Structure 1
Amino acid sequence: MSQIQAFILAIGGFQGFLLFTLLISDKRVNYASKLLGVYCLLLAATLLLPLIVSAANSNFSWLIGWLVFLPASYGALSYLYCRTAMTGSSLRLRDIVHLSPLLICYILNYEILFSAEKALDFVSAPQDTLALKLTLTVSYGQALLYGVLLIMMIYRFQKKAKQNLSSYNPDTFKWHWCLVVFIVLIWSLKALSSVTNLAAPMVNFIADCLLVILIYFFAIAQWRKPSLFHVQQLQAELSKPDVPSKKTLTDGLLDENMRSSVLSLVKKEVEEHRLYRNNKLTLASLAEQVGISLHHLSETLNQHGGKNFNQFINEYRVAEVCKQLDENSDRKLIDMAMDAGFSSKSSFNAIFKKVTGKPPTLYRQQQADR
């Protein structure tokens, strides 16, 4: 190991312990932040493992057997973190099953857990045994399994939010999709290092560096703004059955004339009573207020209106802000946004740009220059 690599690993380990302390001790942070703090702690311990191994018979050699298999828990931690971050929920007792890959690795290699000498031999010159093959299978298998589960979960949550919620920051899901891309890249490099003899140490080191950058970047962002990755009201909506989307409906349950009538009724109620100003408005609450079924409302918006619920409501909100900007109102943008029904500055900026193609500040400037 070169001095540069040792230095990077030492700095990464120190930062991991620091972020763990910040995320666990800060009273402002939420449950997901604390879980991410544990992730940072385990990652820091993994980064320090090569330094412990290079030091040979040090006072920390007894930790080698316990630390070497920690990556077998990273897939579960990524999955559980995303779930708790987006929904605001806490871990449940049955979530202990997610520790299975790590426990299996410990059971398969129990002999090295309590022997520093055997652990050092295992890491320095691993023998091609059945236990090692099974350990690698479990380690890479859990990465693949939780990668698939993570993709399915984020897709489901995003679909649910678009169908049922009027207020959430769409960039929240961009953060999580970014996490998925990095995780796939990191484990692909890890897999490559296991089959590449010549450049294996360097490839594995690059994968570790990417993992450090990814997790620490998320940790700092989570610490600065705990609500950044949270989708409000999502947890409550997940307990409700999915409504048909545009892709799953063909002929639908309503004919074209009926859908047109329902859409006109919905637009009338939303516009007359300015229902879009309620930042907690959901598909279910709108259906109840208008007096139609949840299924028929979703079908009408998707099939006849050509939009999901989130798009439908937020276009009204953006239109109200644009109207004030067109009139050269001197009110603050955030005040206009909140009055129009947006729940945060970040969601307002993201949705306004998506609808108009311009950031709100640029739109205001262009209107003022006319």
Structure 2
Amino acid sequence: MNTSELNSFIVILIYGSLVFLSLLTLANPLKVNKKANFWFGLFLFLWSSFWLDEVLFLITGSPVEVHSILLVKFIQYLTPIFFYFSVLFFTNPSFTFKITDVKFLLFPAAFLGCLWGVALGYNNPFEYLSISLILFQAVFYTLLSYITIRKHQKKIQQFSSNTEGINLNWLEYIILVLLIVNIIYVIYNLFYDPKALNFFINAVFLLVIYCVGYYSLKQKEIYPLEEKQRNELISINEDVDSDEVKRKLISDDELTRIKTQLDEVMELQKPYLDSELNLIKLAEMLSVSTHHLSYVINTGFGKNFFQYVNEFRVNYAKRLLKQTDSKLSILGIAYESGFNSKTSFNTTFKKVTGQTPSEFKK
């Protein structure tokens, strides 16, 4: 099989995989992150359309330019927007579209106007403008999605003690890989023969698509399903960078009382050994609101929830690591201390102590 035949096989795999994955994501068999998966499924389906010309050429044996149809061009233009919407709902499942969100239609409306201009024969000005809009929108929503995910990774530390399954790292990595691949492709197109790079680009895309499939289908629900609890946590997140946190939610005496009570609970009951511990569970143990507990941890201890809980876990793990007669492995100590994976244990332990668990044990 030569490079051309292998590339054709990869193209078929890409298109088939994306269509199948989009249908699977839309069906959402696990019934998690419903709104996010709806938009992500639509994004995958639109993404598959970029290989439709090549697939039809392989089937019919003659060039087919589906992408030149005005309606198809317009629908494909929506691909980065749909990806951003999926990120938006992953990070905030309670998000609802408002009248002000008509702003999302500004670029598509301008692009549609350019397409009509080209259709009417005004090729030069409108064609260049449409290409500029495609590039600008792709970069704009890619960066906006990346920033949204980075903010999300910071926010979930306000209520979760284990963020590994809910931090959306996989989406962040995919954005970075696609951005790098597209930059290489654009530069190569300008200076070299673009066809020579097709095999490499398609092979990378196929690998990315399989990674997308693996991680998207195992993505857990990020926020609680119960609407009241979910909205509570989201409202705490929204206050993290605002002036609300700087204002006193409770008196100094009340803050001291809750701090003392929290210290006692953490020392005596050791709730941090529960790998699923979150702000809601800990607030219930103290009979305080999640907002007040978050305020006490942020203001009283100068830490977020994730840092506060995991320092207790690390200290507990240090005691276990010091026991010379312990039969527990490093992984066993990680689970015993409340961590849910060796990776998160190693990362958190090194961040707190400056050493890996193995180095500390030696």
Counterpart AA for 2:222: V
Match of 1:23 among 18, 22, 25: 25
Per the alignment, residue 45 of structure 1 pairs with 49
Residue aligning to 1:297 = 297
Q: Which runs of 5+ in 1 are unaligned?
A: none
Alignment match, 1:192: 187
- SS at 2:347's partner residue? helix
Name the CA distance, whole Å, in 1 between partners of 2:28 and 2:103: 28
Q: Structure 1 residues 284 and 103 mapped into 2: Cα distance closer, same or farther (>3 Å)?
A: farther
2:227 is aligned with 1:231: no
Q: Which residue matches 1:219?
A: 213
Does 1:281 pair with 2:278? Answer: yes
Contact 1:168–1:231 under 8 Å retained in 2 = no
SS of the residue corresponding to residue 109 of structure 1 reads helix
Q: Which sits farther off after the overlay, 276-285 or 265-274?
A: 276-285
Check 1:21–1:177 CA distance in 2 against 1; reply closer, same or farther (3 A cut). Answer: closer
Aligned pair count reads: 341
> How far, CA to CA, are the matches of 1:100 and 1:210 in structure 2?
32
> In structure 1, how many angstroms separate the alpha carbons of the residues matched to 2:48 and 2:240?
45
TM-score with structure 1 length normalisation?
A: 0.68
Shift of 1:135: 0.9
Residues in 2 aligned to 1:172 and 1:2: alpha-carbon distance in whole angstroms: 39
Distance 1:243 1:288 in 2: 23
The counterpart of 2:268, out of the listed 261, 265, 272, is: 272
Cα deviation, 1:227-253, whole Å, max 9, x if unaligned, reads 1xx5335953332365668xxx99x99
Q: What pairs with 1:165-184 in structure 2 (closer than 5 Å)? A: 165-169=160-164, 172-184=167-179
User: Retained in 1: the 8 A contact 2:185–2:201?
Assistant: yes
Q: Is the 8 A contact 1:244 1:295 kept in 2?
A: no
Seq. identity, %: 15
1:329: how far off?
6.6
Q: Which residue of 1 aligns with 2:87?
A: 82
CA drift of 1:218 comes to: 1.0
- The 10-residue stretch of structure 1 (25-34 or 43-52) with the greater mean CA deviation from structure 2: 25-34
* Cα drift, residue 153 of structure 1: 1.0
Q: What are the ranges of 5 or more consecutive residues in structure 2 without an aligned counterpart?
A: none
CA distance in 2, matches of 1:190, 1:128: 25
Distance 2:109 2:260 in 1: 58
Which residue among 284, 305, 308 is the counterpart of 1:309? 305
Is residue 2:115 matched to residue 1:109?
yes
